[in-house]
Amino acid sequence: MIRKGMFLTTAAMTVSALILGGAGAAMADAEAVAPDNNLVKIAAEANSRGYVIVYPASSKSSDVTFYPTGPIDASTLVVVAEPDGSLPGGMSESDIAIVVEKLRDGDEIRSEARSTAEAVPMVTQWAYAATAAAWSGAYNGANLATGWGGTAWYGFNAASGTSQRNVGQGLGYYRGYNGSVFGLWGVYYNLGSATASSNGGMSVPWDNVLATQKFKAKCATTQVCGGYYWN
């Protein structure tokens, strides 16, 4: 049984928004992070139990977020909490321990539930709405846990019977370094464009992370638009 321990409570540190390409993202204007010896202790605790929980900042709008974790092992699962502090899909710490064991057996864990209150089959499409003025807010998708080198898929379309061309972004995660601190980068990747007859979408990095997939949209040819997304 994986024992419970101290969790990472350091707020996520945001950096300037990036212009993101489909194949990856280059970090720009990253804020230097002061060394924190406490992160080393937290990382040791995380490595021993197999996971660490990171919490987002209370308010942010950046497309890139850095979650300091300290020097955790590549096999240590990073669990990204929701903005309200809850765990993905309303999971408990015991649930996370089970996920860690399944990942060690080579499984990928994908929840069919969009939230604890709404069960959604894996093949269900979720509606989105957007404008041309700015990217929409983040729409929640499935909860996903993968091992090292994992990816997450996003697909989307434009509303049937319209001439809309819409563009999308999907949240992904990769391990990295910021100044003097190891951590996890949460990045929104461009997913291309979609019309009513041609779907958009792609895979994004999801490196040993348990989190809720999130999708954003924007109208490319009309002032308001909509469609469906899936993952």
Q: Would the pTM of this model clear 0.85, i.e. be above it? A: no
Q: At 179, is the pLDDT very low, low, confident or very high (cuts 50, 70, 90)?
A: confident
pLDDT of residue 15: 35
pLDDT of residue 108: 85
User: What are all long-range contacts of 101-106, with beta carbons under 8 Å and residues at least 24 apart?
Assistant: 101/2, 103/77, 103/145, 103/146, 103/147, 103/208, 104/50, 104/75, 106/147
| Mean of all residue pLDDT scores within the chain | 79
The pLDDT tens digits for 121-178 are 445 789 999 999 999 999 999 999 999 899 999 999 999 999 999 999 999 999 998 8
Q: Kindly state the percentage of the chain with pLDDT values over 70.
A: 75
Amino acid residing at 53 = I
Is the pLDDT reported for residue 7 higher than 60? no
Q: Give which of 163, 139, 155 is closest to 220, Cα–Cα.
A: 163
The pLDDT tens digits for 57-87 are 654 556 789 999 988 998 999 999 998 889 9
Please give the radius of gyration of the chain, using alpha carbons only, rounded to the nearest integer.
18
Average pLDDT over residues 110-125: 52
pLDDT of residue 211: 96
Domain ranges across the chain: 13-120+142-152+169-192+203-216
